[in-house]
Structure 1
Amino acid sequence: MGEDRDEAWIGAGGDRACVAHRMDRRVLLSGLAAAGALVSTGLRAETFPTHEIKFICGFAAGGGADIVFRYLAQRVEKLAGKPVIVENKPGAGGHIATAMVANSKPNGYTISSGGGTGFAYLPFLYKTPAADPLKDFDYLGTVLKQSWYLVVDEKSPIRSISELTQHLKEKNGKGLYGTSTNIGTAFAEMYKVKAGVEAEQVTYKSIADAFGDLSSGKIDFLMVDPPFAIGGMQSGRMRALAVSTGRRIAATPDIPTMEEAGVPGIDLTVWWSLHVAAGTPLPIREQLAKWFNEVLSSEETRVFFAKIGSDVFLSTPEETRAYLVKDIENWREYVRVAKLPQT
């Protein structure tokens, strides 16, 4: 109604300069409000963090993921000047932690690096996913790439994939394998399909819980992450027969790929993303990314990752999102081949 009155006034020959002044004032006030918002965001970024940061790990303490989380947390803490606390939220293949980060306040104080591959299979393994990986998160970058290992007990007479395949065929479908992750399940089921064998899955809350069953012969083989595989080999507790990736791993150059071991068509590479809840202010995301990139770019980190069978993997937020989109399509095929059910 005020605008109509202004137009009538102008039409009647009123003071156009007065109206222009009024309009300029509106533009000025709008501009000041926007500038105030930017200044406010900038101040929050400059003073970030003002208290501890939570680093959410979707797997149990002491596991391979936990080892990496705590390594990164300790080093980012030194750069941030505030405590970086690792919170373990195991369960549902990392699903609980995913929901926790997605539903957190978008302020940069709740972060995780347990996505990547874990996000790529969400649409296919869960009827009601805890989050939409392309809508519910802002990405800071990537962390690492690694392989999963197929292992048997060191005391086992089985020394190759071909011998394991023959062993499982002789058990006529009564073989058992252990895993604690969706990645391990996918690897095992793809092996079963490609090799034409049967083995029933035994799921453990933590892969450490499976060692006793492997040693006693209750299960025939395990699918484990690099830290556990390498640690198990070094301690003389287990023997690795193959890796899930299409190339050998630098930390274990003597362990063949599945194709080299006689089972072609398997190339499952695991990677991690760094992410926060969608809507986190850009300056805060940039600050977090800067700290993590500094840690990940160091020679110390390269050496540490190599010891646990991983390679440093650095990318921009935009590259991370594009890599995720591509890997979602990869997992569509993995799930189809392995006939993994939705839960």
Structure 2
Amino acid sequence: MKRRDIAWGLGLAMAGLAGRSAFAQAYPARQVHLVVTGTPGQGTDIVSRLIAQKLSERLKQQIVVENRAGAGGNIAAEYASKAPADGYTLLMATNATHAANPAMYARLPYDPTADFTPISLVGLLPMMISSSPALPVSNVREFVALARSKPGAINVAVPSSSARVVLELFNQLGKVELFPVSYKGSGPAFIDLFGGRIQATIDTVSATMPQIAGGKVKALAVSTARRFEAVPDVPTLAESGVGDFDLAPWNGLMAPRGTPREIVNLLNMHVAAILAEPDTRKRMVDLGIQPASGTPEQFDRFVQGEARKWGDLIRKANIKAE
């Protein structure tokens, strides 16, 4: 090749890089939409609005939360997957949209892997197993021993599909046969627990904490690998002898596949800074969410591992979307 051709080619390449750099520096030039799987007031919605507010302050541009609830998060995920890959539509992904749903639904209107670019994990929502005060146990080891002495006789409320999957892992690792009783929400489950119609429940820490404070339930353990700072005195299931237990719902920020890397890195940097702020951490912990960030690559590996974990448990228990 002639020197002028080489120079011309390098010039085009540099111009392209300069163009991408300028684009990233200008981002965001207009409001950004954060698509949320839940309805207003639900846990994912609350944390999404907190992150959106903080991002708005940092990016000097409005981040609008757009609720598209339904079908276990599939409606929101499909909508976000088909948006332009320009950084102006983001998704607050969940363990449902990217780990559980591929195993619970016969078909999905989006591809959790091919259609999205991971940005950052945002937080874990530890689940807690708790029992009725009338049940003669004070810890998980005693609970497991009682369950083994009465296979299938202990009923456990599962007010969500996530709780159902956590129970499946508990049965496997604890080598017990706890019977799941499905509920449409935490309220009815706790009413039956108080009334003695069920003996235990698996629910989020945020839903369980008020019941603990009122002395209506006994906290036995949390489902994450580490103790949750909102309830530091409550041990983990792993600490309590239930294998290598580590399973919890989660939220994480994603963008449509093909979103420029400069924008992904910019958003990742700001999310990490937001989650490191003391007031943000306190607010999230108070909501029952353990802040958790990391690089886009770490989030990608995390999601892949979660998809295998949740998928295997769901298929083994034959859990189907309702």
Instruction: Give structure 1 stretches of 5+ with no counterpart.
Output: 1-18
In the TM superposition, what is the alpha-carbon distance from 1:132 to its structure 2 partner? 2.9
SS at match of 2:93: coil
Map 1:235-246 to 2 at 5 A: 238-246=217-225
Map 1:1-343 to 2 at 5 A: 24=5, 28=8, 37-115=16-94, 119-152=98-131, 156-158=133-135, 160=138, 161=140, 162=142, 166=146, 175=155, 177-180=157-160, 182-193=161-172, 194-204=174-184, 207=186, 210-212=189-191, 214-215=193-194, 220-234=199-213, 238-259=217-238, 261=240, 263-264=242-243, 266-335=245-314, 339-343=317-321
RMSD: 3.7
Over residues 263-301 of structure 1, what are the superposed CA-to-partner deviations in whole Å (9 max), with x where a residue is unaligned?
Answer: 445332444432111011122222222221221122222
TM-score (norm 2): 0.79
Identify if the C-alpha distance between structure 1 residues 190 and 116 changes in structure 2 by more than 3 Å, giving closer, same or farther: closer
Opposite residue 222 of structure 1, the aligned amino acid is T
In the TM superposition, what is the alpha-carbon distance from 1:186 to its structure 2 partner? 0.6
Instruction: Give structure 2 stretches of 5+ with no counterpart.
Output: none
Contact kept? 1:295, 1:301, Cα under 8 Å: yes
In the TM superposition, what is the alpha-carbon distance from 1:223 to its structure 2 partner? 2.5
Contact kept? 1:145, 1:313, Cα under 8 Å: yes
CA distance in 2, matches of 1:63, 1:236: 25
Contact kept? 1:165, 1:195, Cα under 8 Å: no
Contact kept? 2:193, 2:200, Cα under 8 Å: yes
CA distance in 1, matches of 2:158, 2:250: 21
In the TM superposition, what is the alpha-carbon distance from 1:302 to its structure 2 partner? 2.9
The structure with the largest alpha-carbon Rg is: 1
In the TM superposition, what is the alpha-carbon distance from 1:42 to its structure 2 partner? 3.4
CA distance in 2, matches of 1:196, 1:167: 6
TM-score (norm 1): 0.75
Over residues 96-145 of structure 1, what are the superposed CA-to-partner deviations in whole Å (9 max), with x where a residue is unaligned?
Answer: 32222222221112223333675233443333234333322112222233
Range that drifts further, 307-316 or 167-176: 167-176
CA distance in 2, matches of 1:143, 1:267: 17
Opposite residue 74 of structure 1, the aligned amino acid is Q
CA distance in 2, matches of 1:233, 1:261: 19
In the TM superposition, what is the alpha-carbon distance from 1:68 to its structure 2 partner? 1.6
In the TM superposition, what is the alpha-carbon distance from 1:31 to its structure 2 partner? 5.9
